[in-house]
Amino acid sequence: MKFGVVTFPGSNCDYDSYAAVRFILGEEVEFLWHKSEDLLGCDAVILPGGFAHGDYLRAGAIARFSPIMDKVIKFAHTGGVVIGICNGFQVLTESGLLPGALIRNDHLRFSCKFVHLRVENNESKFTSVCKKGEVLKIPIAHGEGNYYHFDEDISTLEDSGRVLFRYATPEGEVTNEANPNGSINNIAGIVNEGGNVLGMMPHPERAVEDILGSSDGLRVFESLRACFGSSKRVVPS
């Protein structure tokens, strides 16, 4: 399968994502400049971490209006797979592809450390090779990762199994202490209604080899490949 990694001015995990896909997963991958309007036939588009357009105004707010985002939004609306990691998640909420918003961490500090995620639903494109309840060790690096959603809407997300990852202890217990940023219900990653758009604050692309401290992040990419099959092109209708 073929991945595309969008580079916005200020993206800083685009190479990490590229390397994870090309050298570790071993699949095809292309960079997509934010001013381009061509997704180059990619099966999955990654919006990487960083500080797109400096995150001036609000994280992701200006990136959402980069020319490529019109194409990414159309791609997502027709079933195309989009993964927003960290800043990419913020771009996805700002563009309306995912519900809710990511606000300042409740403790106001930038957090850069390994966290543990409990897989809440393994019937998604992004978690298909995981077990339900499995714990993944993946790092976070953000100042605005506090997932917020109005109470009445959060039950819709929860009831439909759209919460894929929750911050937990290494044993898989969801506790306040394991929540690194104040996210409602310890939410670390969600999908859209169609199940083709994933947003997550932790960085799976930074945990793809043991030498990096963990290779658990690879599970997200392997899940996706398991759905597509290697080198098999799937074009959304």
State the catalytic residues.
86, 203, 205
Which residues have a Cβ under 8 Å from the Cβ of 26 and sit 6 or more positions away? none
Report if residue 103 touches other proteins, rule: CB under 8 A: yes
Out of 35, 74, 107, 132, the residue judged to bind other proteins by CB under 8 A: 107
Out of 101, 129, 174, 212, the residue judged to bind other proteins by CB under 8 A: 101
Answer yes or no: are the C-beta atoms of 99 and 61 closer than 8 Å. no
Stretch that binds other proteins, among 79-87, 96-104, 200-208, 220-228 (CB under 8 A): 96-104
Out of 7, 146, 186, 214, the residue judged to bind other proteins by CB under 8 A: 146
Tell me the number of residues near other proteins by CB under 8 A.
20
Report if residue 61 touches other proteins, rule: CB under 8 A: yes
DSSP 10-63: TB-SHHHHHHIIIIII--EEEEEETT----TT-SEEEE-SB-GGGG-SSTTTTG
Answer yes or no: are the C-beta atoms of 135 and 170 closer than 8 Å. yes
Structure tokens at 110: 């930038």
Stretch that binds other proteins, among 41-49, 58-66, 112-120, 204-212 (CB under 8 A): 58-66
Out of 65, 67, 156, 175, the residue judged to bind other proteins by CB under 8 A: 65
Name the residue nearer to other proteins (CB basis): 11 or 95. Answer: 95
User: In angstroms, rounded to a whole number, what is the distance separating the alpha carbons of residues 79 and 64?
Assistant: 19
Structure tokens at 224: 């996706």
Answer yes or no: are the C-beta atoms of 91 and 64 closer than 8 Å. yes
Closest approach of other proteins to the CB of residue 38, in Å: 24
Q: Which amino acid is at 8?
A: F
- Where does this chain bind other proteins (CB under 8 A)? 57-58, 61-62, 65, 93-94, 99-101, 103-108, 146, 148, 150, 182
